[in-house]
Chain A
Amino acid sequence: MSRESHALAKVTAPAPGATEGQSPVLEHEHRLLSPLLDRRSFLRCALVSGTALGIGELVRPLAAIPSPADPQKQDDSRFTVEAKFYQKLENKKVKCKLCPRECVVGDRERGYCGVRENHGGTYYSLVHSRVCAAHVDPIEKKPLFHYLPGTLAFSLATAGCNVNCKFCQNWDISQVRPEQVPAEYAPPKLVADLAKQHGCPTIAYTYSEPVVFSEYIMDAADAGHEAGIRSVVVSNGYMQEEALKTAYGKMDAIKIDLKAFSESYYKDVVVGELKPVLDTLVTLRKMGKWTEIVYLVVPTLNDSEAEFRGLARWVKANLGNDVPLHFTQFHPEYLLKNLPITPVPTLERAKAIADAEGLHYVYIGNVPGHPAENTYCPKCHRLLVERVGMMAKQMLIRKNSCPFCGQQIPGLWHA
């Protein structure tokens, strides 16, 4: 099989042992489920602890896409809906109002995300129901640690992203146009049905950047809620307030990747802005949405003590000390291969600073087996949730409280 046809016939599935913001969407293809596993693949499968299970309904059509040299011949009309957040301008131009970038897009051109196109002065999303990656993951992998621990999330993505993080682990789907990656038609009701069939109480919109497929997540969340399935989103939070309230208003929980606590990092490494993301976090707080924050610690770029301290103080002052904050380990990828993996002591230093600033739930991620993956009671310090390799092994919280001292533990612990 040529490299090209392999790439076009791939089925993307998230790699184990990494949280969403850092989770490589690897090309497992059918071999993932076959007995012909090499040692590396076996270890991956073993680590994922059975999460690389059935997306059979999506696997078959994805892999069966014909015409490997011509991926654009997907039926684009099925995936095209008018965008919800934009403004019409003169000369058939439009201004996108989805994210703070506010792309002004000429006729027949696309916005920065690459998945929205202007046709004659009307702006369209090209990725509604256009799923290029789908998988069943533990909810801890998002990571959401205070939200239905030990349950599964039916996780999906379309192509596209509204930033361009140089460390992106999912660049093969986030930094491409929709016609450049194989996809399957998965309308909202099908997603809800699949989630139910696979025993997932939650649909997760993740891997790439759900901001850019907002119309789809809104419809899928509605379909899910009708079927008794909740929705969560894993997002960079780089979004305009109205779009945020409308689209993420339908979500039941949200994980925000706060990439750094400096504008310069956002400008140079993310190609975005910090301020709107902080605004998003505050808005979500006001909306009463359960929110967790991930901070990917990249050596030399966002790992200073001042930055950790500034972040922790800001979180405490603006969101409160009960918001879970995950410091996760960076692995070299995409355009940032010249940096080493984040040393564990750096992560521990970050956690120590945030703990000292008074945050109650500070975690270390992407380091399987680290004790800071567990949840402890902030009052009596007893172990409440034990996690190993993204799996909740033991959950002692009862009635949203510590069984030892009665301290309320924020989150949604039981369905």
Chain B
Amino acid sequence: MKHASRRDFLKKCVTGVAVLPAAGKAWAEQPRAWRGGAEGMPLLAAAEQAAPTAKSRVVVARDAMLRGSGTTVDSGRVLSLLDRAMQSLFDVDHPGEPWKRLVRPGVTVGLKVNTLGGRGLSTNVQLVEAICERLQEAGIKAHDIIIWDRDTDEMDHVGFHTSTADNRVQCFGSDRTGFEEDYATYGKVGSRLSKILTQRCSVLINVPILKDHDGAGVTVALKNMYGVIHNPNKLHPDGGDPYIADLNMLPAIKTKMRLTICDATTACYEGGPGFKPQYSWQNNALILSQDPVALDYIGWQIIERKRAEKKLKTLEAAGRLPRYIATAADAQHRLGTNDPRRIELVEVSA
């Protein structure tokens, strides 16, 4: 074995190519986790070797009548859809059961929403209310639930009104609390994390939306974490690869992340991430998984199908292949699987 000189070692430390052991801790406690392959093996070989006994389950739950006869999502129907999706994800019969497996009384649950797209393309308030309702039924006190995103004004604009009262669900942006002074680093990422994440939340539930992204290709679960750092602008080169995967490796994110509930009720297949009505469609679906990579892979496929239906180029042909999804699944990251053979897709209809 060739020994690295001190000079080489220092270079590697600087350029961030040193391989850190990946820990699948984010969902290690959960029954259907894909826990990654062996270290130090070529990507494919590692995947074959470590073929998990259980696949990563991704649930796509649809309700064609989600909006009733109106244009906004119906609160009752979205709660019902959420229940069905959660029951499918956790293989249980009772709507409250999955939440009791997911959280315990006394923890503080952060619901990371996405409000960048304004009123047309942000996480639905009705969905978040439904999540809050089930969390409280599972014993989480209202003030131990924090709905948050990067900016309070953006949240307010889409209906997440600021709330800091003791007996209420908390709701505010990172601009209210600021960011940690110290940089959290992994690979090519060096960022200051929101104090909401580091100091307030013990459990994180990601509530992103499903949309096209002009740089990264798509933005679903993994990229929604750009909203928890002070410098997302620095992580956009090269389609966010490997930045998105590296960011999700930060312990404060990885160890707290329990579940992604993607609001795909309205989705966007072109022109994202901003809201473009002409490129958005009412998909009336929720996508749930504990494996954010598998969820991103499925979300990407949904967008590709819509693009094909609209006679648009594939994202690869458009020069926007979301390569970061494969990177998130590679031997250095092991944040989940992007291998369709190892994804159990469950489709549920209301």
Q: How far is the CB of B75 from chain A (nearest CB, A)?
A: 28
Q: Which residue of A lies closest to B8 (CB)?
A: A300
Are A112 and B237 also in contact (CB < 8 A) when A107-B274, A338-B10, A338-B14 are?
Answer: yes
Q: Which of B180-230 contact A (CB under 8 A)?
A: 181, 183, 185, 190, 214-215, 230
Contact in complex: A91, B233 (CB < 8 Å): no
Chain B residues lying within 8 Å of A109, measured Cβ to Cβ, are 116, 273-274
Q: How far is the CB of B70 from chain A (nearest CB, A)?
A: 26
User: A128: CB under 8 A from chain B?
Assistant: no
Q: Which residue of A lies closest to B153 (CB)?
A: A72
Contact in complex: B179, A113 (CB < 8 Å): no
Q: How far is the CB of A391 from chain B (nearest CB, A)?
A: 33
Q: Which of A1-55 contact B (CB under 8 A)?
A: 3-4, 7-8
Q: Which of B227-263 contact A (CB under 8 A)?
A: 230-231, 233-234, 236-237
Q: Which of A63-85 contact B (CB under 8 A)?
A: 69-72
Complexed CA–CA distance, A61 and B76 (Å): 51
Interface residues on B, range: 35 or more
A104 interface neighbour in B10, B14, B15, B215, Cβ under 8 Å: B215
User: B276: CB under 8 A from chain A?
Assistant: yes
User: A278: CB under 8 A from chain B?
Assistant: no
User: A224: CB under 8 A from chain B?
Assistant: no
Contact in complex: B178, A179 (CB < 8 Å): no
Contact in complex: B273, A106 (CB < 8 Å): yes
Bitwise, B115-134 to A at CB < 8 A (1) or not (0) is 01110000000000000000
User: B322: CB under 8 A from chain A?
Assistant: no
User: B72: CB under 8 A from chain A?
Assistant: no
Chain A residues lying within 8 Å of B236, measured Cβ to Cβ, are 103, 112
Complexed CA–CA distance, A113 and B275 (Å): 23
Q: Which of A236-279 contact B (CB under 8 A)?
A: 268-269, 271
Q: How far is the CB of A273 from chain B (nearest CB, A)?
A: 11
User: A287: CB under 8 A from chain B?
Assistant: no
User: A93: CB under 8 A from chain B?
Assistant: yes
Contact in complex: B15, A335 (CB < 8 Å): no
Bitwise, A327-338 to B at CB < 8 A (1) or not (0) is 000000011101
Bitwise, A148-167 to B at CB < 8 A (1) or not (0) is 00000000000000001010
Are A106 and B214 also in contact (CB < 8 A) when A4-B178, A175-B231, A300-B7 are?
Answer: yes
Chain B residues lying within 8 Å of A70, measured Cβ to Cβ, are 175-176
User: B11: CB under 8 A from chain A?
Assistant: yes
User: B272: CB under 8 A from chain A?
Assistant: yes
Complexed CA–CA distance, A71 and B151 (Å): 12
User: A92: CB under 8 A from chain B?
Assistant: yes
A112 interface neighbour in B6, B175, B234, Cβ under 8 Å: B234
Chain A residues lying within 8 Å of B139, measured Cβ to Cβ, are none
Chain A residues lying within 8 Å of B215, measured Cβ to Cβ, are 104
Contact in complex: A114, B271 (CB < 8 Å): no
User: A407: CB under 8 A from chain B?
Assistant: no
Complexed CA–CA distance, A7 and B234 (Å): 22
Contact in complex: A108, B181 (CB < 8 Å): no
Q: How far is the CB of A266 from chain B (nearest CB, A)?
A: 12
Contact in complex: B7, A177 (CB < 8 Å): no
Interface residues on A, range: 35 or more
User: B282: CB under 8 A from chain A?
Assistant: no
User: A111: CB under 8 A from chain B?
Assistant: yes
Q: Which residue of B lies closest to A7 (CB)?
A: B181
Complexed CA–CA distance, A108 and B176 (Å): 20
Complexed CA–CA distance, A176 and B175 (Å): 13
User: A180: CB under 8 A from chain B?
Assistant: yes
Chain A residues lying within 8 Å of B233, measured Cβ to Cβ, are 110-114, 177
Contact in complex: B230, A177 (CB < 8 Å): yes
Contact in complex: A108, B118 (CB < 8 Å): yes
Complexed CA–CA distance, A113 and B178 (Å): 19
Q: Which residue of A lies closest to B178 (CB)?
A: A4
Chain A residues lying within 8 Å of B272, measured Cβ to Cβ, are 106
Complexed CA–CA distance, A397 and B165 (Å): 70
Residue with the greatest number of chain A CB neighbours at <10 A, chosen from B118, B190, B272: B190
Contact in complex: B231, A268 (CB < 8 Å): no
Q: How far is the CB of A263 from chain B (nearest CB, A)?
A: 14
Are A92 and B274 also in contact (CB < 8 A) when A114-B231, A166-B14, A177-B231 are?
Answer: yes
User: B92: CB under 8 A from chain A?
Assistant: no
User: A301: CB under 8 A from chain B?
Assistant: yes
Contact in complex: B10, A339 (CB < 8 Å): yes
Contact in complex: B234, A114 (CB < 8 Å): yes
User: B301: CB under 8 A from chain A?
Assistant: no
User: B13: CB under 8 A from chain A?
Assistant: yes
Complexed CA–CA distance, A112 and B215 (Å): 12
Chain B residues lying within 8 Å of A176, measured Cβ to Cβ, are 230-231
B11 interface neighbour in A114, A271, A300, Cβ under 8 Å: A300
Are A106 and B274 also in contact (CB < 8 A) when A72-B175, A269-B15, A334-B183 are?
Answer: yes
Contact in complex: B274, A336 (CB < 8 Å): no
Contact in complex: B183, A300 (CB < 8 Å): no
User: B349: CB under 8 A from chain A?
Assistant: no
Contact in complex: A301, B11 (CB < 8 Å): yes
Q: Which of A106-132 contact B (CB under 8 A)?
A: 106-114
Q: Which residue of B lies closest to A103 (CB)?
A: B236
Complexed CA–CA distance, A301 and B8 (Å): 9
5 shortest interchain CB distances as A-B pairs: A107-B274, A114-B233, A91-B271, A268-B15, A335-B190
Task: List 19 A-B pairs, Cβ < 8 Å.
Answer: A69-B176, A69-B178, A92-B274, A103-B236, A106-B271, A106-B274, A107-B274, A108-B274, A109-B116, A110-B233, A111-B233, A164-B234, A176-B231, A177-B233, A179-B175, A269-B14, A300-B10, A334-B190, A335-B185
Beyond A93-B214, A106-B271, A179-B175, 11 additional contacts (C-beta under 8 Å) are: A71-B178, A92-B276, A108-B117, A108-B118, A109-B273, A114-B233, A166-B14, A176-B230, A271-B237, A334-B190, A335-B183
Binding site for B on A (CB under 8 A): 3-4, 7-8, 69-72, 91-93, 101, 103-104, 106-114, 164, 166, 175-177, 179-180, 268-269, 271, 299-301, 334-336, 338-339
